[in-house]
Amino acid sequence: MPDKDAGTPRVFLIRHGETEWTKSGQYTGRSDIPLTENGEKQVISSARLVVGPGKIINPSKITQLFISPRKRALRTYELLFDEAARHKFEGKVEITEDIREWDYGLYEGILPSEAKAGRKERGLDKGRPWNIWIDGCEEGESPKDIAGRLDRVIAKIREIQGPYMHGEKPVDVVIVAHGQILRAFARRWLGFEIGVKLPMMLEPGAVGVLSYEHHNVDEPAFLLGVNMAESEE
């Protein structure tokens, strides 16, 4: 059976590798924390499996990259693509605050349980438990703030990919960022509010894939399953 969506552009979501705060579970937004040694190994392993000619992420098909300015994301980009690929990406890389991690405000550097305890002490959440996807963060970003900046990135991507829905030109896009913001990005990609209940997981150094149904830029979709060796030169 032929693949009815073959050639449709893709968006690859790359979460940076492990950091010390990833391991501990502390909220890591604006803090500029490096990858651990294991975090670097995670990214290298992912690159070996999915990046290269004939692999899922084929550098020759990438037309634009959006990268968070945090060092953990920038280092992930360096490890994911070799020097030759990065040289070819000159002029295609946008390092942008629009795809940085959620600003956790008062919760930066603490555990979720500590954030909840602090909110309780301040008399918050009497009606229902705190939900970051609905309530946002004290002195940090709200879901509306997040949606605003992610929607700007999505609009750029749709403008890039919209004219080439049938593979007329390779226009894959790569985003290298963070766990929370990439899950928020997936919600907005599908047209959902940030607060919609949509449980998702994205491990450190992992790759997620978004695309479109029916070669239609107005039908954004998840790619739940990806052929591991489907991209040709």
Active site residue 18: no
Which residues in the chain come in under a pLDDT of 70? 1-6, 226-233
pLDDT at 224: 80
Binding-site residue numbers are 28-29, 72, 101-104
Residue 66 DSSP class: E
Name which of 205, 210, 233, 229 is nearest 220 in CA terms: 210
- Sign of the torsion angle spanned by Cα atoms 232, 82, 228, 69: negative
- The answer to whether residues 209 and 57 touch, using CB atoms and an 8 Å cutoff, is no
Domain annotation for the chain: domains and CATH numbers:
11-222 (3.40.50.1240)
- Cross-strand bridge partners of residue 95: 67
Options 16, 40, 141, 178, the catalytic residue: 16
Is 0.75 topped by the overall pTM? yes
- Sign of the torsion angle spanned by Cα atoms 108, 110, 111, 113: negative
203: tokens are: 């491990």
- Sign of the torsion angle spanned by Cα atoms 72, 44, 19, 189: positive
What strands lie across the sheet with 207-212, from one edge to the other? 93-95, 62-67, 172-177, 11-15, 207-212, 220-222
Options 101, 108, 141, 178, the catalytic residue: 101
Rounded distance between C-alpha atoms, residue 58 and residue 81, angstroms: 10
Binding-site residue numbers for substrate are 28-29, 72, 101-104
Helix (H), strand (E) counts: the chain: 8, 6
pLDDT at 81: 97
- The answer to whether residues 175 and 185 touch, using CB atoms and an 8 Å cutoff, is yes
- String of DSSP letters for 125-170: -SSS---HHHH--TTS--HHHHHHHHHHHHHHHHHHHGGGTTSSS-
* Helix, strand or coil, per DSSP, at residue 118: helix
Active site residue 108: no
